[in-house]
Amino acid sequence: MTFPALKTVDSTMALLRDPYRYISRRAAERGSQTFETRLLMRPTTCMTGAEAAAVFYDPKRFQRAGAAPPPLQKTLFGQGGVQGLDGTGHRQRKAMFLEIAGPERVAALADLVTCEWRRAIPEWAAAGQIQLYPRLQVLLTRAVCEWAGMPLPDADVESRTRQLSALFDEAGHLGIGHLKSRVARKAADQWAVGIIEQIRADELDPPHASAAYVVAHHREPGGDQMSSRVAAVELLNVLRPTVATAVYITFVAHALDAEPAWRERLAHGDGGEDLAFVEEVRRHYPFFPAVAAIVRDDFEWRGHRFTRGRRVLLDLYGTNHDSTAWRDPERFNPERFLGAAPDRFAFVPQGGGDAALHHRCPGEPIATRLMMVALDQMVRHMTYTALAPSAPVDFRRLPALPSGGYPIQVAATNGGHTGA
């Protein structure tokens, strides 16, 4: 049996016009979790929902090698990184990232981000009105570079922030934005290669638990070190997604404005519900729209045949709003995370399955912890006014953000959040 197919020559532009909701809306129109189309003129099967995610993350059925479109390989992911590996190579490389993102290391990064946040508050207050999102990128770049063992002189903070941000903030754009992302990738790769080579030559000695040291000395399954180029890609795969947490933190602020009862509840709470609020932000708001894989060998699912070599996209945003897995999925409700842990294939903001075995992001603990740091600062330690509260989310932007950015005015003294 074949999948429902879209009657169009190519759907690339339609996907780019609505990247987060394109798959789920087309699937709903056809009453199917799957459908076929063409993207970049290549036949592609699109899937959505928790049941589809469980199939998609089966390594016996799908592989990642060759799945990511070349434009993303040359910007967002880098070439040779963990996202394109399978089997033993993937597991060993993933173990490196799990070591880097261990509990003690995440706690150390959270402390640095807290210090940077406290340092930023008077600067933001002196500036008057600010856009929170770009300021967060600077804050996170400072913190993650120190934590990762990457020397970052004050004079280089702006340029490195622009480079790291362009890897995710402009990679999915057309035209000049994508070209900027490619230029940023080249510059960032060169910087990271230099760090790797200095460490290997004993010219730089970062803490042995730092990301730079661990990546520089990592051994592949055959016992060899990664090439300097690939090691640089993996080091940036630590820095880039940490800076990208600025997207999630901006949505934390947006959710606090949209849910004033929850803001008050958290402000007067003991922090025990902070994680639930953060997890609901990750479920409810758009972050990364979809992930790609290649069918490893022919198989059938629900009477439909997946043929070897076919590219498949799994809809992440739509799966996080799958009505068969989530009750009232369009409602923002942190209480859904106060009970048992969610199904690992229904809750897929940064991939599904087990981070140690599947292509689920090993940096999730970093994202959630830094979001909790931000939440704590915004509800308990700073006074600010949102100048465009509860603005609609721009779903056409990659990554999505509140329309018009997120302008705020910060008071000169600390205190509680003053309101929308």
What pLDDT sits at residue 413?
61
- Between 389 and 416, the more confident residue is 389
What pLDDT sits at residue 105?
97
Strand partners, 299: 306
- For 279, phi then psi, to 5°, come to -65, -35
What pLDDT sits at residue 75?
73
Lowest mean pLDDT among 98-102, 295-299, 416-420: 416-420
Mean pLDDT, the chain, integer: 92
DSSP category for residue 173: -
Nearest to 148 by CA among 90, 214, 104: 214
Please, what's the b/e burial string for 341-351 (b: 16 or more CB within 10 A of its CB; e: otherwise)? ebebbbbbbbb
Could you read off the pLDDT of 145-201 as tens digits, one per residue? 999 999 999 999 999 999 999 999 986 667 787 788 889 999 999 999 999 999 999
Task: Report, in angstroms and rounded to the nearest whole number, the Rg of the chain calculated over CA atoms.
Answer: 21
- Between 174 and 317, the more confident residue is 317
Is pTM beyond 0.85? Reply is yes
Q: Sorting pLDDT into bands at 50, 70 and 90, what band is 418? A: very low
In this predicted structure, the answer to whether residue 333 has a pLDDT above a threshold of 60 is yes
Cβ neighbors of 399 (< 8 A, separation 6 or more) are 168, 169, 172, 244, 247, 286, 287, 288
In this predicted structure, the answer to whether residue 384 has a pLDDT above a threshold of 70 is yes
- Interstrand relation of 42-48 and 311-315 (parallel, antiparallel or unpaired): parallel
| Alpha carbon distance 271, 139 (integer Å) | 23
In this predicted structure, the answer to whether residue 215 has a pLDDT above a threshold of 90 is yes
Q: Sorting pLDDT into bands at 50, 70 and 90, what band is 2? A: low
- Between 72 and 269, the more confident residue is 269
Nearest to 319 by CA among 7, 76, 34: 34
Q: Sorting pLDDT into bands at 50, 70 and 90, what band is 5? A: confident
What pLDDT sits at residue 119?
95
| Alpha carbon distance 197, 242 (integer Å) | 23
Average pLDDT over residues 64-86: 80
Average pLDDT over residues 384-395: 93
- Between 343 and 173, the more confident residue is 343
160 near 151, Cβ under 8 Å?
A: no
Lowest mean pLDDT among 3-7, 103-107, 359-363: 3-7
| Alpha carbon distance 320, 286 (integer Å) | 9
In this predicted structure, the answer to whether residue 123 has a pLDDT above a threshold of 60 is yes
Q: Where are the domains of the chain?
A: 12-410
Q: Answer left, alpha or beta for residue 411, where phi above 0 means left and psi between -120 and 50 means alpha.
A: beta
Average pLDDT over residues 113-131: 95
What pLDDT sits at residue 85?
83
Q: Sorting pLDDT into bands at 50, 70 and 90, what band is 420? A: very low
| Alpha carbon distance 106, 44 (integer Å) | 38
In this predicted structure, the answer to whether residue 416 has a pLDDT above a threshold of 50 is no
- Between 420 and 272, the more confident residue is 272
Could you read off the pLDDT of 281-314 as tens digits, one per residue? 999 999 999 999 999 999 999 888 899 999 999 9
CATH class of 12-410: mainly alpha
Nearest to 287 by CA among 130, 393, 134: 393
